[in-house]
Structures are given as structure tokens and as C-alpha cells.
Amino acid sequence: MEYRQLGGSDVNVSAVTLGTWAIGGWMWGGTDEQAAIAAIQAAIDAGMTSIDTAPMYGMGLSEEIVGKAVAGRRDRVQLLTKYGMRWDLAEGKHWFDTKTPEGQDVKVHLCAKAHSVIEECERSLKRLRTDCIDVY
């Protein structure tokens, strides 16, 4: 695996990043959680160190699965997640309508207000089972 320095930071990431949108199950017909965990762990074992996720991927499910998969391997990976797309907060600009994994209609809003960013970060930390996010 090749690695790259991320911008002017001291963070080195694998040249290939594992994207986890689909393992959130949302819009993809469900997720086999154990298969997703095994796939993430296989990627780590193959030298992939950067894992991209987001609260919006499966409305938190992707981050939960990533958190389980990196348990005991956290020192080998960089976790990349995001903020700003809220399905659970009717504040900010309406962006699009969708359904939750359970089939409930929701409106997704873009919100980057300080209180929202802090709340999303705290929730992501909990779902990822970590005390820091490497790239936010």
C-alpha cells in the first residue's frame, strides 16, 4: 500500500481510502453487519489506513459498524467523517427528502451552526467508539 501526507499536516493516509456509504445500508437494500465488519478488517489488514464515513450514511449505522470494526485496531487507522447533513434537526436549509432505514419520511437539512457541529461531532465520537476523529 502506498501512503500520502495529507496536505500540510502530519497525517499520513493510505493512497486508497475505504468508503463506507453502502455499508450504512440506507438506499442499498440493507447491510450484513458481520460481513461489513469483516470487509473493513480485511482492508485494514491489507494496509488500508484511512476509512471514510459520515453520520448521514445509514443515519448513523455506517459509523456504528466502523466503530465496531476498528475496535482493537484504532491505532492503525485514520477515521474521516463529516458534519452538516441533518435528518434529525429541522434547522438550516432544506436539502432533500428521503426515508430512514425504517422507511419513515424525513427532510434532510444542511446545518453548520456551531451547536449542530458540536452535537454531530459528539454523536460521531460515540458511534465510532473513539475519543478523536482524525479528519473532520
b/e for 83-115, b at 16 or more Cβ within 10 A?
A: bbbbbeeeebeeeeeeeebeeeeeebbebeeee
Q: What is the DSSP letter of 81?
A: -
Task: Residue 92: name the closest of 119, 72, 74 by CA.
Answer: 119
Task: Establish whether 83 is a catalytic residue.
Answer: no
Greatest Cα pair distance in the chain: 43
Instruction: Please give the positions annotated as active site.
Output: 57
